[in-house]
Chain A
Amino acid sequence: MKKDKKNSFNTPEGYFESFHDRLMDKINKEEGQPESIIPKSDGFTVPERYFDEVTPKVLSKTVEDNGKVIQLKSYRKFYYAAAAVAALFLLVFGLNWKSNAPIGFDDLANTEIDAYFESTEIDISTYELAELVPLESLELNDVLENDIEAENILEYLDETVEDIEDLNLDYSNYE
């Protein structure tokens, strides 16, 4: 029970805390507005202490990460030396290079291209890949390491497909 020091009246526990909610309920009822059927909370929770732990995680990737800047100035003399050596190489090989043809895509070794694709996370979906590479220019054996003969394909279909209709073949083209 809460007591008012200036008078002897008192109110039930929590009366003023819940007053606003009760008032709004009453106004809604009087105005004839039905209470919404949409739930008041959406049921999401977080792991215990998540909000305490996220601050150090963020700071380690921002403020603290920033403190680990490598001082470049002390290496300056090495850069000059490296640049001088590189310039010398360019001069020697540049003068002896007989071919004037610019370097093109064909000059890249396949292993270099493979290494690039393996080491780089390329954000490209199968749909985009399909748009990029026209279907007509691809043979099945281009994407397989071992060649597959037509005979093997027929054998596979014979073993796995129960109903030939499943293949949706356009018979008119095969007559």
Chain B
Amino acid sequence: MHYQLIAEETLINELKQKESQAKAFEVLVNTYKERLYWHIRRIVLDHDDADDVLQNTFIKVYKNIDNFKGESKLYSWMYRIATNESLTFLKQKSRKMGISDEELKNRMVENLQSDVYFEGDEIQLKLQKALATLPDKQKLVFTMKYFQEMKYEEISEALETSVGALKTSYHLASKKIEAYLKED
């Protein structure tokens, strides 16, 4: 069996035992915090929002670890929780502001110009505008593949979508983004 799988299995067992839970959870947070943060950040764009969603994601993971059946890998289960938490967060935000999802996405990109934790240049800002025009699934697949450099198999488990469908989404997203960036 692959070393990583054994390590993951051990970690899951430790997470489910009361006496080893605290230490194992700290290992889990330290192992996945950066990867999950960047995944969330690319959905919600704002750092403070990403921080809130990341903490909520780990709280959900902690509360539901006993229900984790091990049918998928631990990281893909956590990616699923992080994705759902991020998308739900944006839905609630648009409802609270009384605006549509599209309008919220446009405002999020506009806010980047004054965001101290966004150091993108003109082309990177245009990239965010292009990403905001994509359907959620295409945007997710693109950022997970292009920026997070995940394998199709990993994205497939996290988003519960076939590799074939992911490749199509990625191809479509790339073409749309390139076309958008070429526009004046």
Name A residues whose Cβ lies closer than 8 Å to a Cβ of B: 36-39, 41-47, 50-51, 54-55, 57-59, 61-63, 123, 125-127
Contact = CB atoms under 8 A, between A and B. Distances in A.
A123 B58 CA distance: 23
Contacts, number: 92
A126 B41 CA distance: 29
Interface in B16-59: 21-22, 25-26, 29-30, 33-34, 37-38, 41-42, 45, 47, 51, 54-55, 58-59
B174 A38 contact: yes
Interface of B: 21-22, 25-26, 29-30, 33-34, 37-38, 41-42, 45, 47, 51, 54-55, 58-59, 62, 92, 95-96, 98, 117-121, 123-125, 127-128, 146-147, 174, 177-178, 181-182
Nearest to A38: B177
A137 to B, nearest CB: 22
Contacts of A38: 127, 146, 174, 177-178, 181
Given A44-B41, A55-B26, A63 B21 contact: yes
Contacts of A57: 55
Nearest to A57: B55
A61 B25 CA distance: 12
B98 A127 contact: yes
Interface centre among A39, A47, A57, A59 (most CB of B within 10 A): A39
A45 B118 contact: yes
A79 B124 CA distance: 62
Contact of B25 (A44, A45, A54, A63): A63
Nearest to B45: A44
A153 to B, nearest CB: 25
B174 to A, nearest CB: 7
Nearest to B124: A43
The 6 closest A-B pairs by CB, nearest first: A43-B120, A43-B124, A62-B62, A63-B22, A58-B58, A125-B95
B120 A42 contact: yes
